[in-house]
Amino acid sequence: MCEKFVLHYFPLNGRGIIPRAILYYAKANWVDNVIGSDEWFNDKKFSNLFEFHRAPVLEYKGKKLCQSMAIIIYLSQLFNIYGRDIDEQYEINSLLNSYEELLENFRKWNFCEDPAKKETLKQAGIDEFKLYIDRYEKRYQRLGNGPYYLGDHFSTADIYLACAIPTLHDILWKPDIDEVMPNLKKLLERIRENELKGFFDNYFYHHN
């Protein structure tokens, strides 16, 4: 596949890390166009190039594809990692939707100006993150604790877990989660050393 992909996103993980990881895994011909905040917020001509004035945006074959979930599914189907049947696609979509829910917890905390409420939101965000990790672990066990999340084949679910868990851990105040994900931890280590080897050294942004 020789056509070039151009992914436009900010210098952070957020909604851009999973599309970046898919393109990296697929060894696609792609450009990671990192958008500076001044460029995005002060140059209306730039943001207006994109349909909903939001990022990420993926340029491919003359089209500007928008909305992170749609981009992830598009790339997953294109590179044949979107599950083998509708049940596996449900598992993938469920994970992707949970990411949006957990990111929303951080957004609420980030924009809250009341110190007391901010602390409450922080604890609620940590508690829900741990709950979701526990559910991911239990699902993985239910699916067989195989070499990959869905069994014997690599999928978007593996990319999601390898990217979303460290991203959320980084922004949601770094709680101790190792005890609730012993099997997933081993899975993520395998993916980082194989399918996504080198990705985190070059494309992972640590939250201050």
Angle between helices 156-171 and 86-111 (to 10 degrees): 10
Model pLDDT, residue 184: 96
**CA 116 – CA 135 distance, rounded (Å):** 29
| Reported confidence tier of residue 1, pLDDT bands at 50, 70, 90 | low
- Over residues 10-68, the pLDDT tens digits come to 999 999 999 999 999 999 999 999 998 777 777 666 667 788 888 999 999 999 999 99
Distance in angstroms between the alpha carbons of the first and the last residue of the chain: 37
The architecture that CATH gives domain 5-78 is: 3-Layer(aba) Sandwich (3.40)
Tokens standing for residue 207: 């939250």
Model pLDDT, residue 47: 66
Kindly list the domain boundaries of the chain, sorted by start residue: 5-78, 86-197
**CATH of the domain spanning 86-197:** 1.20.1050.10
Question: Is residue 165 pLDDT above 80, yes or no?
Answer: yes
DSSP letter for 180, please: G
Residue 176 exposed, middle or buried by CB count within 10 Å (0-12, 13-18, 19+): exposed
- Over residues 14-23, the pLDDT tens digits come to 999 999 999 9
Average pLDDT, the chain: 93
Model pLDDT, residue 44: 66
Same fold? 5-78, 86-197: no
Model pLDDT, residue 38: 76
- Pick the range with the lowest mean pLDDT from 10-24, 47-61, 72-86, 183-197: 47-61
DSSP letter for 150, please: T
Who has greater pLDDT, 41 or 148?
148
Model pLDDT, residue 186: 96
DSSP letter for 151, please: B
Q: What is the mean pLDDT of residues 85-110?
A: 94
Instruction: Please tell me the pTM assigned to this model.
Output: 0.94
